[in-house]
Amino acid sequence: MIRLLDVRKGFNLGKPNAFVAVSGITLTLEANRVTVLKGPSGSGKTTLLSLVGCMARPTSGRITLTGRFPGFNGSAGEPDLREIEVTSLPERFLTKVRQRTFGFVFQQFNLIGGLTVLENIMLPAIPLGERHDVTRERALALLDLFGLGGRADARVEWLSGGEAQRSAIARALINDPPVVIADEPTAHLDSKLSLEFMDIIALLKDRGKTAIIASHDPLVSEAGMVDRVVAMRDGLIDGEPA
C-alpha cells in the first residue's frame, strides 16, 4: 500500500520560472490493484509517478510505503511487513527501497543499445550483488513468460516494437518488485500492441502485483482489469479543490 499525504512538487522554486507540477495530492493506492492516472499533457502525471516511485522527493507532504523491505529490520530472512516513510529516508536507503519495490516501464522503453535482450533485462539486478547465474535464471524465465525465449541473445536494436515493449516489462520485473510503474506505456504502440500490453498488466495483477500507469490513452483507462482511474488536472486530482 502506498499513501500520499498532501504531496507537492515544485520546480525551480524561488526563480522566475518556478512551476508547481503537483500541488497537494492526497491519495491511497491499494496493493494488488491497477490504477491509471489520466489527464491532459502537463497535468503532473509523470511528476507524481516519479514521487511515488521514489525517484524524486516531494517539496512537501509525506509518502509512506507498506511492504517487506530487506535490510530494514536488521535480521536475516524474510523481513516483516512494515510501513516506512520514504520522504525522510537518506538517498542511499531510498535507492535501496526503490530497487526492491518498483519496476519501471518508460515511454521510450529505454533499452540500452548494443546489449542483448538478456543483458538489458539483467541490468537492474547488477547493483544488488546477486550471483550472476541466479539473475540469469530469473531473466530467462521472464523471457519465456513473455514469449521472448528465442530472442535472449538478440541485440535490442533488432527487436520489433512489441518485442522491445515486452523486453522493457521483463526488465522492470527482474528484481521481482511488488509494484510496476508505467509512464505512457502505449504512446508508441498501435492498438493491437496496446491491448497486448494491458493483457500483460492483467497477468501481473493475477500474480499479485500492483500497477500504477500514467496515460491519457483511453485504451488504457478503459481496459477491463483497471481497478481505479484517477483523473488529474493542473497538478491536482480532478474535482478536488485546490
Report the interface residues with other proteins, using CB under 8 A.
46, 49-50, 53, 55-56, 92, 95, 98-99, 104, 106-108, 110, 112-115, 119, 123-132, 171-172, 175, 183
What gap in Å lies between CA 76 and CA 87, rounded to an integer?
25
**Count of residues of this chain found to bind ligand ADP when the rule CB under 6 A is applied:** 12
Q: How far is CA 198 from CA 16, 144, 185, in A?
A: 41, 18, 10
Q: How far is CA 68 from the centre of its chain?
A: 17
- Closest CB 40 distance from ligand ADP, rounded Å: 7
Give min distance, CB of 171 to ligand ADP, in A: 21
- CA angle 88–94–99, rounded 5-degree value: 155
Nearest approach in angstroms of CB 192 to other proteins is 25
Binding mask of the shown chain, residues 30 to 49, with x at each position contacting ligand ADP by CB under 6 A: ---------x-xxxxxxx--
- Choose between 41 and 75: whose C-beta lies nearer to ligand ADP: 41
Give the residue from 92, 72, 98, 93 showing the smallest Cα distance to 83.
Answer: 72
Rounded-to-integer distance, Cα 167 and Cα 147, Å: 10
Tell me: does residue 24 bind ligand ADP (CB under 6 A). no
Smaller CB separation from Mg ion, 46 or 95: 46
Indicate the residue among 81 and 134 with the shorter CB distance to other proteins. 134
Closest separation between CB of residue 191 and other proteins, Å?
24
Does residue 46 interact with Mg ion by CB under 5 A? yes
Q: Edge-to-edge strand order for the sheet containing 34-38?
A: 102-105, 179-183, 210-214, 34-38, 228-233, 236-237
Sign of CA dihedral 213, 127, 118, 175: negative
Contacting positions for ligand ADP (CB under 6 A):
11-12, 19, 21, 39, 41-47
